[in-house]
Every structure is written in structure tokens, then in C-alpha cells.
Amino acid sequence: MKLAAEQLRARLAQQPPELTAHDDYDLLLPPAGFGAVKAAVLLPVILRTPAQGDSTLLFTRRTDSLVRHSGQISFPGGRSEEADPSPAETALRETFEETGIAPGFVTVAGYLDRYLTGTGFDIQPVVGLLRQGFTLSPDPREVAEIFEVPLAFLCDPANRRRENREIAGQPRNFYAFTYRDREIWGATAAIAVNLAMRLSDITES
């Protein structure tokens, strides 16, 4: 996919948006996110020229030992802390803690729609451009794997699907992708779809 930093920024909010919708789970959710735990995730975008290969989005796979969402694929991020001045700072701090990517290698490009989960989290997705030269040092307590998925793959509607499952006794309806035997679903997939829809008019290589 041919994508420039300016094209990406033009399709993103430049300030954290108000919460206007909930997630794609068929659950009763707090009105306007009332009482939800504030959190932020980083969507780390690696832009490459056609000669270098596909531009990609970086994901993590959580360790099997975690209490919440063990083994699932996610974006780096977590709960906001009182000392965090903004969602971007939360996302950058959590990304450094989980992956070892230093904040100095990330340029915030903008924000996607906030995402309210059925488990009570109000997530602000932050899109960041990774500068070449970053190094990965994943926290072994939290991150089992870090991998990249081509943006062109995520932006192709043929690669996404809607699934229905019963989870914890509740019916769930959500987006899902399968990339090289990795299953990306739930909140992570919905946030990736939100980014893909904003990039849908950019010509693929």
C-alpha cells in the first residue's frame, strides 16, 4: 500500500474525540462511557517506500499467563494513570513498557474513534508513526510475540469477517481477521477496521 505520513494524518482526528458510539459487541454498555476505565492503545504504523516493501501495522500477542485476555492479539497499551497528561502519553508509556519501543521513535499522527468495551474499558486508539531504528525488547511477563501485518491486508474487505460467539454466557458479534494462523478479533480487530475504513480510498500497490 502506498501511504504517506501526510495522507495518514489527514484521515485522523488531531484531538482525542468525544465518545459517540460503543463497540460491536451486542451488550448493554454504560451510557456515554459512564464509569468505564480510561485506557489508550497505540497503533504503531511502519511506513515504507515501494522499494522497501509493504507499510505495516505492529501487533502484540499477550502471554498465556496473564489473567485478562491471555494469549490474545492486541495493540500495546493499557490503563491511564493520573500522571498521564493525555491518552497519547498513556499509549506511549505502555508501549515502551510492553515492547521496549522508546517514545522518541514514535510520532503521533492522530486519533481514531474511542472504543467502549463490554468489559468496562473506554479505549482511546492513538495512531503513531514508527521511525526507523527502533528496537524491540518485549516484557516477557506480558508480551509473547510482536509481529507486523501489512496495511494492504487489513484494508482489503475480503480479509475481514463478522463472527458470532457466546463468550461468558453472552452473545458477541465482532470483526475478525486471520493472518498467517494468527487470529485477530474483538476490540483489536474493530479498531483495525476503523483505521482501514479511513484509508479505504488510498490506492493499493
Per-residue pLDDT, 190? 93
Tens-digit pLDDT profile for residues 119-157:
788 899 999 999 999 999 999 999 999 999 999 999 999
Count of residues for the chain? Answer: 205
Domain chopping of the chain, boundaries: 5-151
Report the alpha-carbon distance of residue 60 to residue 137 in Å, rounded.
Answer: 12
Report the alpha-carbon distance of residue 5 to residue 131 in Å, rounded.
Answer: 11
Instruction: Report the range of poorest mean pLDDT among 10-24, 35-49, 55-69, 136-150.
Output: 10-24
Tens-digit pLDDT profile for residues 167-201:
667 777 889 999 999 999 989 999 999 999 999 87
Q: Within 104-205, where are the H helices?
A: 151-155, 186-198
Specify the pairing of strand 56-62 against strand 73-74: antiparallel
Report the alpha-carbon distance of residue 135 to residue 36 in Å, rounded.
Answer: 33
Give the strands of the sheet with 182-185, arranged side by side: 160-167, 170-179, 182-185
Task: Judge contact between 151 and 30, C-beta under 8 A.
Answer: no
Dig out the grid coordinates for 171 from the structure. 452473545
pTM for this model (two decimals): 0.89
- The fold for domain 5-151 equals Nucleoside Triphosphate Pyrophosphohydrolase (3.90.79)
Dig out the grid coordinates for 205 from the structure. 500497490
Hey, what amino acid is at 182? R
Per-residue pLDDT band at 205 (split at 50, 70, 90): very low
